[in-house]
Structure formats: structure tokens, C-alpha cells
Structure 1
């Protein structure tokens, strides 16, 4: 297999997307979710671009120089984006997926575990923010 530096950042993101999706599905089962409809609803909250972008924002200060290079390549990669999300959020989500792809290719499962350990806390915080916003209406 080629070195990660020779790969297009979107290729890294393609791999990272699959790895993250598998982690999310496994994680939800470990949390005790069993109904498929519930699993899907929960999974969407994990994999949506805004969640991935927020995870990247939290991780950024702790990333080493190489990881930051991977993120910047992923963020700057040229590609389309869905209409239901703004381009900046989508590019940050792509950057997160590129980072996950990089970790996968380099066998850095501990680093991935460290990164993924932040996701539940971020989602919990995001849910609390939405609850407060709905109370203010």
C-alpha cells in the first residue's frame, strides 16, 4: 500500500468515514441500543458533519504536527458537499475523516480510541445546549 502522503486526502477521508461508521455502530451496541430504528437515529447524531467538525475542534490542540498536516490536507481537499450542511462544517468533517483514515492506515488504534472517547461528551454537551435553547423559546 502507498504511503499516506501519496494519497489524496479524500481517499483518506473515504477510509476514515468507514472506520468511524463501524466504530459508531459497535459503540452503540456496546451502550445497549438494540432497536434498529433507535440505532439509526443515534448513529446519525454521531456521523453528521456538525458532530465530526466539533470533535475535530476539541482534538485540534492535542494533535501533533503530522496529524495537523493531515487535517489541513483534508480540510482543503476539493470536492462537492451536500446541500444540507454549510461548506465549512463539511470540510472540517472531511478533515476529521481524513485523520481517522490516516490513523487506520498507520495502525494507530489507540490514538483513534482517544479521539473517539470525546464523542459522547460532545454529543451530551450538544444535547444540553439544544435543551436550553428550546427552553428559551
Structure 2
């Protein structure tokens, strides 16, 4: 897997908006999109039917799989990144219907971290995403 994001546009954030003022839910919203695009790109080759793409991507973007990915990355994270995870976990309110609350919080934490790193450090984001153990492409 490449460690860069050639297909992603450079992040845009207003220079006078400190990243600490961006709500964790907004970071998770952005992180969810970045994560899904990363996963979609990872399964693009070899060519296959759309349903096969969909099935592989859905298996990776499910909250349970995101929680697994987060647990695998924890030993690699810095203190500031762990703080971002806490912000994301605390922002994960509501009552998910399909998964347990702790799994939902872990998935939201991962998305928050991805959104944060997308806005602040693309190299670090690429490094961490490259560490994810994705299921082999069928």
C-alpha cells in the first residue's frame, strides 16, 4: 500500500481556525469520508464487479472493523493522538442500533483521529493507515 495520498485533494482549513476549535464530531465526519476513500482505493484492484467492491468496502468500514483497526494502532500513537481519541470517544453520544456503545465509541475515535490527521499531518496519517491489516482483495 502506498504511504501517500495522491488521490486526495490537499486539506482545506481556514488558517485562522485553530484545529482545537473544530468539534470532534466534525473531525469524525471528515475522518469517516477519508477512511472510506482509503479503503475504496485499497480494494480497487484487481478489477471486479461493483457488488464485490461494495462487499469488501462495507466489511472494512463497519464499526466493529474500525474498532479492531483502532486497537491495532494504539501502541503506535503519540500522547497528542491519544488525546484526540479521547475527544472523539467523548463526542460519540447517542444510541447506536447495531453495535454496542463501546464499539461505536472506538470507531468514532478512529474517525476523529483520521479527520484530525488529515487536516494536520498527512504523512502521519498515511503512515498509520499503511499499518492497517486489511482483508486480502478477492
Shorter-chain TM-score range: 0.7 to 0.9
* Structure 2 match to 1:130: none
The match for 1:16 among 31, 36, 46 is 31
Runs of 4+ off more than 4 Å: none
* Cα RMSD, aligned residues only: 1.6
Of 45, 67, 71, 1:53 maps to 67
Q: State TM-score, norm by structure 2.
A: 0.80
Q: Following TM superposition, by how much is the alpha carbon of 1:62 offset from its aligned partner in structure 2, in angstroms?
A: 1.3
> Is structure 2 residue 126 aligned with structure 1 residue 113?
yes
1:83 is aligned to 2:84: no
Query: How many Å apart are 1:20 and its aligned residue?
Result: 0.6
Number of equivalenced pairs = 121
1:14 and 1:89 mapped to 2: Cα distance?
A: 17
Give the TM-score of the pair, scaled to structure 1.
0.81
Q: Which structure's relative contact order is higher, taking Cα pairs within 8 Å and 6+ residues apart?
A: 2
